[in-house]
Amino acid sequence: MPSDINITVATRNGRLCAGSGSKWEPVMGYSRAVKCGNYIAVTGTVGINADGKYPDSLEAQTRRSLQIIRAAVESLGGKIEHVIRTRMFVIDITKWEEVARVHGEVFKEIRPATSLLEVSKLIDHDALIEIEADAVIPA
């Protein structure tokens, strides 16, 4: 796990909330991930680096996004193996194999339900992918 991913955890309205320091979190009023009971919902996560810049390739952005998601899930007591669903939004579906390769590296044995959808654009012009995830921690 990259050491430049800094997740903070706070209790809000009886739920554990993980923040990643994204500039959008306080503006829009959301958390990177929220844990309620044994369920963790991870919001749409772009593959941005700690310096605010994006890697050049879709593959690298996918990898970074999944690293941030893993850090958020782990900060709330989960593991990447607990992920049961991912939703991936890309601006160019013809490059799906780049996304699939990285997603497959992480989830090869886990096999969550997933969706890969093309959208016209994402929140930031340089973002090529945004990924959401849901996890359930076993009782």
Mean pLDDT value across the chain: 96
Coil vs helix vs strand at 27: helix
Sign of CA dihedral 12, 85, 38, 137: negative
Q: How far is CA 61 from CA 35, 129, 131, in A?
A: 25, 7, 10
Average of pLDDT values for 101-119? 98
Domain ranges, ordered by start, for the chain: 8-136
**Amino acid 135: pLDDT:** 98
**Amino acid 139: pLDDT:** 87
Q: Are 78 and 69 in contact (CB under 8 A)?
A: no
The residue type of 4 is: D
- Which of 63, 71, 76 has the alpha carbon at shortest distance from 4? 71
**Amino acid 116: pLDDT:** 98
Q: Are 11 and 76 in contact (CB under 8 A)?
A: no
Is the pLDDT reported for residue 3 higher than 90? no
Is the pLDDT reported for residue 70 higher than 80? yes
CATH class, 8-136 region: alpha beta
